[in-house]
Structures are given as C-alpha cells and as structure tokens.
Amino acid sequence: MFTLRDEKGRALTENEALALPKERRSEIDKAEQELRGEITRFLENLRPMERVMNEGLAALRRQVVKPLLEHALQEIRNELKKQIKDSVKLGAYLEQVMHDLLENLELFEGADEEDELRLEALNAVLSRYRVNLVVDNHGLNGAPVIVDENPLFHSLFGSIEYQSENDVLVTDFSRIRAGSLLKAHGGFLTLHLRDMLADELVWEKLRRFLRSGRLQIEEPGMTLSLLAAVSLEPEAVDVHVKIILIGSIEQYYAVQEGDPEFARRFRVKVDFAESFLSNAETRSASSVFVAHACRQMGLVHFSAAAVARLLEDSHREVGDQSRQSAIFAHTEALVMESAALCHARSGALVEAPDVEAALRARTLRHDYPEQRLQESFAEGERLMVVHGEKVGQLNGLTLIDQGDYRFGFPIRVTAQTFAGDEGLLNIEREVEMSGPIHDKGVLIFHSYLSALFAHIAPLAFDASIVFEQEYHGVEGDSASCAEFYVLLSSLSGLPLKQGIAVTGAVNQHGEMLPVGGINEKIEGYFRVCETAGLDGSQGVVLPWRNRRHLMLEPKVIAAVARGLFHIYTAEHVADGMELLTGIPFGVADAAGDYTPGSVLGRAQKRLQAYRHACQLAGRQKPARRTSRGTRGTA
C-alpha cells in the first residue's frame, strides 16, 4: 500500500489527497502503476535465484547430513543383518529410509512449536520409520510353546486392523497384528483338531500354510465388506513352527481318509494312554501330583492315608489292580471335592474319610437311576430270585453306562427247550433289541453247544432264550455264559442255584473270557442280595482272567470276609456249571458219549429223546437257517 506525502514529507490525509488537483492525482496513479510493474519484474527475476539458492542450501544440507546418516544406518545394518537373513532387502529398505530423510530435512530444522502444519508433516514422515513389533520373544529362555484354545482365523493367522474415516476403512503397517502361528515361530503350536475341522476357512488356510511354509496375513472378510476399504497386503513371511494337533482316534482317521495331503504333514502319531502300570515310582509321582495340585489351587494338603485312598480310586477307575488311571483331571476333581469337605470341618489335613465322603457325595449326585432299579427289585416290580434252585433260570449281570456314572444291573435269563427242528431262537434279536456283539456271543456259544453234541447230529430241538423284563435293548457278550448255562440247564433238567449270578463271555472251546465293568456288576448284584437278605448262599461267578480287575467297595469285601457273599472264578464253563448244579460236567468216552448222570450226559439223553420223538412224529427235516435270529438246526 502506498502513502502520499507533500513536499515536506508529511503524509497526506484522505481528504487532503482527494483535494489535490485532478492532474496531480493522475500523475500519482501513473507513477504507482509504474512502481508496481518494476516490483513485479524484480520479484520475477529474484525467484529463480531464490530457487537456485534454496536448492543449493538443500544440497549443502544433504551433503553435510548424508555422511552422518550413512554412518548411523551402517551400524543399524550391521546389527540387523545378524537377525535378518535377506541382507539385500534390508539394504534396499535402509537406502529408501536415507533418501526419504534427505528429502525432508527441512522438517527437522528448529522452528516455532506452534507451526502445526510443519509438526503434522514431520509426524507423518516419522510414522513411516516406526517399527511394528508383531512378535517379541526376547524374554523367553527357550523356544515358544503356544496353546491356542480358540483358533479363530484372525487369532491363528494374524489380522489387519482398520478404522473408519469418512466412510472409508483405512489402515497402515502399524495395524498389522500377529496370530499364534507367527508368535510360535521357532517353537511349537498346539491346536485341537476338532476346532480346525469346525471352521472350513481356517482349515483351508492351514492347509495352504503347511504346503508353502509361508504365512500371508490378511483379512478375509474385507472382500465382503459393505464399506470401501484401503487395502494392505503385507509380504508373506517364512514361519518355522512345529504344529501339534490333539484329537480323538476317530477324528485322526477321518482326516487321514478325507484329506490324505494334510495327513501326510503329520507323520508322528502319539497315542495318549488312559492307564499305565502301577509301581512305586508311579505312586510316588502321583503323590507329587496331588501335592502340586493342592499348592497350585491353594488347598489343604493330603495325608498319606488320603493319598492312598486317591490311588485306590485311580485303580478302580480303570478296573485293574495293576494299573492306574492316566486321566488326571478326574483325580484333580476328587482332590478339590475332598479338600472342600476337609475345609468344612476345619481340618488341618485331608484324611481318608474326607476322600470317602467325597466319593459318596459324588455317587449320590448320580445314582438316582440305580436307586430306582434297586427299589423296583425291593418292591417286586422286577422279578429276581436269589434263593433256592430253578431249572432253565439264572441271574446274569449287566452294566449300564451313563457316561459320568455306571452301575451294575442284574437281570434274569431264562431258557426253554422242546423237541423240534427250529434250533436256537434268540428272542432279543428277533425283536431287534440286541446289538451285534451280543448276537455274536450267542452264535459262539451255540457253536460250542453244537460241537459238544456233534456225535448225535443233526440235533432235533427248539430252544428260546430271553432276558426277562428288559425293554431297552442288550449289547455285549458278557452274558453269553449265563445264556449257555440256562440252555444247558433246560436240556439236562438240572436246577441252577439262584443265589449265584454269572458274568463272562465264552469262546468256541468253552473257555470263559474276561469282561468289563466287573466291579460295578458285582456290587449291583450284592445290593439286590443285601435287600433280599444275605444268607451265605449268594455270590457271583466270573472269568478267572478277571481276578486282577477286582477293586470292590469295602462293604462287599466285608461281606465276603464274613462268608455272607462269595466270589468264584472259573476258567472253563464246565467249572461254573459244576458250581451251579453240584453235578460233574461230564467227560466223553471213546464213542463220544458222556458220563451218565453228568450234566452233559443228561443233556445228551434229552437230545436223543427229542430226536427219537421227532422221528416218530415224522417231523425230522433237513437243517435250515433263517435270515433272522440264530435259528437253525444244530
């Protein structure tokens, strides 16, 4: 802006300037225009010189700063190349950093702190040099070991975080997050196979990673997002990790069958044992486990007697005197329950009665179905005879498994035989209430029966076997001995002792085979006998090979010690039959005939009478076999 002055140099006011003659004002305006033109031409001539000067100053600054940067970056390169294998990429990156710094040196000069634009630009430049440390394992003494209990896509493979700006999702390298797979680099990652199979997207991504060994961090859902997004594709990184998959046997073989390529990546298969042989060393280690669990959970510690009771329950859980359960979660749960009862009585140590009380409490929480069955026997709803003798009738032992609780359940087995040509009829199978294992057991003992009397074949008899008052189906072969005994009793006409129940499978040579759930079966029958009244005649017959599996509750042991209840073992069905009847089983002579008066001798005589009756009636027919049941001429 120009200021008018008079001859003496005094500034003219606006009114004084307007009062000047028109010619004078025109001269002044013309002079002003000429001056403005000169100023413009001066500035136009000055700008190139300023530009050259600024470029020269910038080049001088870069020339001064560059050696300092090169020295600093060289130290960084020397330090990082020990950790980064690709030195070429590292060198290229540091060169880019140096070039970017030299191009923005003016932002690092001292200036007014209130220069917000410069500070904002400086922060934008500095943000490019920050490091996003996605994994930091410097505090570990060994290789990382990670257990991912919730392997979602982003938690397993990593993710890229976004934020919304003006309805656009934006991100940068600082928002890249590592997943458990990258965190386990150089170590071990444990996953549950079931979790992998439940998410097809995770499964496919894991397959691709195993094939290439390179991890690409990405956000799979961004392609389906309704909002526009500024995408970011980080470079894939090499990850060296050993993956451990935990799953069931069924899942392992399902993957092996359905995805052979994936299965080939996991060649080291390890089975987790559910039990192990017990010795002094394992018992000591189990005691240490109990002490460690108490210390870790802040519980009262266990006395030696209490630990011994825990070990006894561990043996009972697997049903074996020589093996302990390897499912320590069950032991840990019992430790907590026993410690809670000890705390309730303000005890200083958990004692054996606390463990007993915890076991009783656990049973009371689960045994309602067993109570109802026991009540049905006491009330006469279910028929069960535990005194005297009867022909073609015997008490068998079954097991009901509810998953978290199982118990023994005695059931009456009966048989009837007649002259005929239909052979053996398995009623359970005829009405489709038996499983394949039970049907197999019936066929096996039927084969053994046929072999016993092969010298008088073809046999001419009809027979039916049934589990009385059984309405839920039968599975397993542990009752095949009992079925054989009632059939032989019906054929021979010899009564069986009703106080003695039988469990065990039989093979085609008459040998008794071990069965499962032996303790629960014995205890279930013992409770029925106890309700009916123990008179010293009751007991059970079990396979000789089941002796090591006996881990009975104290009440049953006490009754056996007093002679009120008996436990018998048998290697062969002949031993059990002789015990049940009091009659010798029978031995065949050179002609194949059995000793008269013996069990087999009486059965042989009855079968011959059936055959003779059929011949007289003209009913003897060729052997046949139906499509259902076990029917057919023996």
When pLDDT is cut at 50, 70 and 90, the band that residue 620 belongs to is very low
DSSP type of residue 273: P
Tens of pLDDT along 476-530? 677 888 888 998 998 899 999 999 999 998 888 889 999 989 999 999 999 999 9
Note the pLDDT of residue 118. Answer: 73
CATH 1.10.8.60 residue ranges for the chain: 275-366
Question: Residue 594 above 80 pLDDT?
Answer: yes
pLDDT at 393 over 60: yes
Least confident of 4-18, 259-273, 432-446: 4-18
Q: What is the mean pLDDT of residues 600-613?
A: 84
DSSP one-letter string for 53-87 = HHHHHHHHHHHHHHHHHHHHHHHHHHHHTTT-S-H
Q: What is the pLDDT of residue 628?
A: 42
Task: Report in angstroms the alpha-carbon separations of 528 from 100, 397, 468, 503.
Answer: 90, 12, 16, 16
HEC profile for 376-433? HHHCCCCCCCCCCEEECEEEEEEEEECCCCEEEEEEEEEEEEECCCCEEEEHHHHCCC
Region for residue 215 given its phi and psi (left: phi exceeds 0; alpha: psi -120 to 50; beta: otherwise):
beta
Inform me whether the pLDDT recorded for 228 exceeds 60.
no
- Report the CATH architecture of 383-617: 2-Layer Sandwich (3.30)
pLDDT at 29: 77
When the pLDDT of each residue in the chain is averaged and rounded to a whole number, the result is 82
588-599 burial: b if 16+ Cβ within 10 Å, else e: beeeebbbeebb
Angle between helices 280-297 and 304-318 (to 10 degrees): 110
C-alpha–C-alpha distance, residues 369 and 382, integer Å? 14
State the Cα–Cα distance between residues 356 and 337, nearest whole angstrom.
10
The tens digit of pLDDT for each residue in 5-38 reads 655 656 667 676 667 777 777 877 787 788 888 8
Neighbouring C-beta atoms of residue 480, cutoff 10 Å:
30
**List of residues 6+ apart from 142 with CB closer than 8 A:** 187
Provide mean pLDDT across the span 148-156.
88
Helix (H) / strand (E) containing 47: helix 22-80
Who has greater pLDDT, 295 or 219? Answer: 295
Predicted confidence (pLDDT) per residue in 33-81, tens digit: 888 888 888 878 878 887 877 777 777 777 777 787 777 777 777 777 6
Quickly name the fold that domain 145-264 has.
Rossmann fold (3.40.50)
Q: Which CATH number fits domain 275-366: 1.10.10.10, 3.40.50.150, 1.10.8.60, 3.20.10.10?
A: 1.10.8.60
Measured distance CA(359)–CA(355) in Å, rounded: 6
The average pLDDT across 303-309 equals 95
Give span(s): CATH 3.40.50.300, the chain: 145-264
How confident is the model at residue 565, as a pLDDT? 95
Flag whether pLDDT at 309 surpasses 90: yes
Please give the share of the chain, as a percent, with pLDDT higher than 90. Answer: 30
CA distance 623 to 138: 81
